Amino acid sequence: MGSDTTEDARSRPLERAEPLVLIAVGGFVGAIARHVLAVSLPTATLPWGTLAANVLGAFALGVLLYEARLSGVLSPETRLVVGTGFLSSFTTYSTFAVETAGLAPGFAAANVAANYVLGFAAVVCGRWVARVMAP
């Protein structure tokens, strides 16, 4: 019985570190994906890369969160990697705010409206997709 307790004590730090590692891996990939998207799209009038990242991320998070409620097929680890890790690094409020502040007033208003309206619509679409995919 003593050796089982010792093994449990040794494995606890690894168990505690696992969620952090999953989030870190997801965050690393999400940040790279956001950068690639941002440099791939033009920024002449609006920061299209940030808009695309925020809308795609809102859609994916809508699918992920409603999937958890409706069917729960994805594991908690998958939700950590994708939701907390990848999507939190892929989407970006701070970049959105800084880019918006640098736009002319009319374009700034359009950027704010586009991010919020399209982001909300994307979550609703993600919810619909999760419902359609649910068993």
Q: Which residues, 6+ apart, have CB-to-CB distance to 66 below 8 Å?
A: 126, 127, 130, 131
Per-residue pLDDT band for 11 (boundaries 50, 70, 90) equals: low
Residue ranges making up the domain that contains 96? 2-133
Say how far apart CA 55 and CA 71 lie, in whole Å: 24
* Angstrom distances, CA of residue 49 to CA of 8, 91, 96, 106: 46, 10, 10, 19
Q: Is the predicted pLDDT of residue 25 greater than 60, yes or no?
A: yes
Is residue 89 within 8 A of residue 26, CB to CB? The reply is yes
More confident residue, 108 or 4: 108
Domain count within the chain: 1
**Per-residue pLDDT averaged across 26-48, rounded?**
93
Structure confidence at residue 44 (pLDDT) = 83
pLDDT band at 45 (very low <50, low <70, confident <90, very high): confident
